[in-house]
Amino acid sequence: MKRIHCGPCSWISSNVIGSQSNPVCVCVCVFRPMSRHSKLQKQVLALYRHFLRAGRDKPGFIPRIRDEFRENARIKKTDVMHIEYLYRRGQRQLEQLKDVNTKQLGSFSKPKDQS
């Protein structure tokens, strides 16, 4: 049984595929690569987790939270000003959601174009 040192995760692994001259480790890091997030990305992910926790006890909130974050995930990563604006807005909305008196979410929508 051949054992190699896996560079990405520093494991000594016996899960090896490939030729003897070019062995490849098949460990957890291959299936779940480590990704590095910027500070702002980490803040947004933490905000998302906080929203999910706060909306757990309020019916109908979780799907709305997921939809809102998925919709805003399409924003280009280079549009930092817009992302920061949405992050600050999300923090304010989270405080409202945490309020025990909050029973439902309101929303504003653009009227459909009348052609």
User: Residues 76-92: pLDDT tens digits?
Assistant: 999 999 999 999 999 99
CA distance 35 to 78: 18
Q: Give the model confidence (pLDDT) of 9-55 as tens digits.
A: 545 555 555 555 555 555 544 445 556 888 999 999 999 999 999 98
pTM for the model stands at 0.60
Taking each helix axis as running N to C, give the angle between helix 80-98 and helix 39-55, from 0 to 180 degrees, rounded to the nearest 10: 20
Q: Which of 45, 62, 60, 47 is nearest to 92 (CA)?
A: 47
**Sequence ranges of the domains in the chain:** 39-98
